[in-house]
Amino acid sequence: MTVVNAAGKEILAGNTRAAARLMRDLDDEIPAAIRTLKHLYRHTGHAYILGVTGAPGSGKSTLVNRITKHLRKRGKSVGVVAIDPTSPYSGGAILGDRIRMQEHTLDEGVFIKSLATRGHLGGLSRSTIDIVNVMDAMGKDIIIIETVGVGQDEVEVVKVAHTNLVLVVPGLGDDIQAIKAGILEIADIFVINKSDRDGADKAKREIETMVSMTSFMEGEWKPPVLSAVAATDDGTVELLKAVDRHREYIFQEGNLSRYRREKARVELVEILKTRLIEKAVSDLDAHGLLDPLLADMANKRKDPYSISEKVVNHSFAFHFLNGGKKKPIKGKGSPR
């Protein structure tokens, strides 16, 4: 796995068309694309990843457009992964985040990829991490992930991004919203967007109160609450300064390795989740066991808990990962 294949070489050389095609193939789960990504993975880990999340209409795309402009002024190359929801009824989607980013369309230093969630929950598409990895291998300095914007539960991005921005707009959340868990807990920086509107001060105070009620350890990052009007570019420079400060914090000894390990864990677990389920189901089917088991469950002769326990406990040949050495693995996977 030391040699990069042809498609991989094109991407490392900065061929955007090859990169675009690989991203599509990854989104469409084409096996050959995974082979290329295996080669590229070693070349990732250089980009700074910025997550932008917030409710629909909170101004994510507009803010991403502004941030991109300022980063370009600093001479940074930028990748944008913008995610919009897939219709659960038709499977289709309208991906409209480019509308706000038109000014960067012809800039060679900006690559924008629109993705549909395709049924994946958590604010990202299943392929988001793969596509971020491709942009990273392409050599983009900063990759911005704009989540789908459902609102309460987009916590997946937190593990992927170095810095997470959470947008809040006046008038959307009354008091109780500020104490809800989920999206508000993932913020490294809060942005009160559209802060020229009525209620902006109140929204800012509420978030500040919420932050002040959280206890932080000595030296731990405390999320600042900033005001901005992305539409007019007000507050974007301050926001980027806060991102710089958070970057310094993340790059401190200990924090960075923790971030990298946590991201590695998400990458591995996400892939395993899909692959193990696929393999388990198709193996059961290939052994002619799936249909009878389902029939037994339908008749209440068997329960799904016992079947699942048997399936996951039967064997994991982990010695293959240990350089081929056969060593018994201590501690069996215990049921939750």
CB of 66 to other proteins, least distance (A): 17
What residues from 1 to 20 belong to the interface with other proteins (CB under 8 A)?
16-17, 20
Q: Which is nearer to other proteins, 65 or 163 (CB)?
A: 65
Should residue 278 be labelled a site residue for other proteins when binding is judged by CB under 8 A? Answer: yes
Please give the backbone phi and psi of residue 164, each rounded to the nearest 5 degrees, phi first.
Answer: -110, 120
CB of 73 to other proteins, least distance (A): 21
Helix (H) or strand (E) holding 23: helix 16-27
Handedness of CA 66, 233, 60, 52 (dihedral sign): positive
The 8-class DSSP code of residue 6 comes to H
Piece in contact with other proteins (CB under 8 A), picked from 5-13, 49-57, 82-90, 202-210: 82-90
The closest of 140, 138, 118 to 128, measured between CA atoms, is 118
| Amino acid occupying residue 97 | D
Strand 189-192: give its sheet, edge to edge.
110-116, 78-84, 142-146, 48-54, 163-168, 189-192, 225-227
What is the DSSP code string of 257-317? Answer: HHHHHHHHHHHHHHHHHHHHHHHHHHHHHHTT-HHHHHHHHHTTSS-HHHHHHHHHHS---
CB distance 127 to 24 below 8 Å: no
CB of 22 to other proteins, least distance (A): 9
CB of 129 to other proteins, least distance (A): 17
Q: What gap in Å lies between CA 124 and CA 149, rounded to an integer?
A: 9
Q: Which is nearer to other proteins, 93 or 266 (CB)?
A: 93
What residues from 91 to 110 belong to the interface with other proteins (CB under 8 A)?
91-96, 98-99, 102, 105-106
Q: Which is nearer to other proteins, 201 or 278 (CB)?
A: 278
What residues from 197 to 256 belong to the interface with other proteins (CB under 8 A)?
none
Piece in contact with other proteins (CB under 8 A), picked from 142-150, 158-166, 197-205, 277-285: 277-285
Q: What gap in Å lies between CA 31 and CA 194, rounded to an integer?
A: 44
Piece in contact with other proteins (CB under 8 A), picked from 64-72, 158-166, 246-254, 276-284: 276-284
Q: What gap in Å lies between CA 181 and CA 105, rounded to an integer?
A: 37
Q: Which is nearer to other proteins, 113 or 159 (CB)?
A: 113
Q: What gap in Å lies between CA 156 and CA 300, rounded to an integer?
A: 36
- How many binding residues for other proteins (CB under 8 A)? 37
CB of 332 to other proteins, least distance (A): 19
Number of C-beta neighbours around residue 302 at 10 A:
15
Should residue 24 be labelled a site residue for other proteins when binding is judged by CB under 8 A? Answer: yes
Residue choice 185, 220, 283, 291 for contact with other proteins (CB under 8 A): 283
Residue choice 5, 28, 180, 264 for contact with other proteins (CB under 8 A): 28
Q: Which is nearer to other proteins, 44 or 114 (CB)?
A: 114
Helix (H) or strand (E) holding 110: strand 110-116
Which residues of the shown chain bind other proteins in the complex (CB under 8 A)? 16-17, 20-21, 23-24, 28-31, 86-87, 89-96, 98-99, 102, 105-106, 111-114, 116, 118, 278-279, 282-283, 286-287
